[in-house]
Amino acid sequence: MGTIVSRLKHELVEAIPPAVFFFVAFHVIAFTRALMLEQHGIRVSTFMAATIAALIVAKVVLIVDLLPFVNRFPEKPLIYNVVWKTGIYMVAALLVRYLEHLIPFVREHGDLALANRHLLDEVVWPHFWFVQIWLLVLFFMYCTLREFVRAVGRERVVQLFFGSSGSHAA
């Protein structure tokens, strides 16, 4: 029982950084989108959708991180792992988004090919590309920050951003 609890605690701690990062990012995007639509008299409530999306993306990150080939370039300059991981996260997120939208069509039509045709017909392509572009930017930023922390060390990054308790401002 103790190993299960410690494993769950470890998983929860690992989920916090990507969940917080994507929670903040998705809510900023949702808020700016709501502000833009407000000028046209369209009111949207996207808080819950942004929260759920952040949790889903955080889970995708955690699952992808378990793949043996995800940290392929640990000894090369950081950009190698940043670009590599960004690409892997993008493919995984695209797959999850596709399945998330396909499953209701499969339930409705009972046939995978027919469901896929309906999905492709009903996709709002500008919205799809809007989300994909933002995911690319956010994954790139997330991977850059994460690789920087891996290379420099968590304690040093905290010290660089917030200073240490024993140092005085110059």
Q: What is the tens place of the pLDDT at every residue in 81-92?
A: 999 999 999 999
Do 141 and 155 meet the contact criterion of CB atoms below 8 Å apart?
A: no
Do 42 and 103 have their domain in common? no
Domain assignment present for 169 = no
Q: Which of 25, 42, 60 is the last residue of a domain?
A: 60
**CA-wise closest residue to 130 among 23, 26, 38, 18:** 26
Question: Is residue 138 within a helix (H) or strand (E), and if so which, with residue range?
Answer: helix 125-152
Residues 73, 51 share a domain: no
The owner of tokens 């609890």 is: 5
Among 113-117, 127-131, 159-163, 166-170, the least confident range: 166-170
- What is the model's pLDDT at position 170? 46
Q: Is there a single domain that holds both residue 34 and residue 6?
A: yes
- Number of domains the chain is built from: 2
What's the pLDDT at 165? 59
The domain in which residue 36 lies consists of 1-60
Q: Supply the pTM of this predicted model.
A: 0.81
Q: Are 115 and 109 in contact (CB under 8 A)?
A: yes
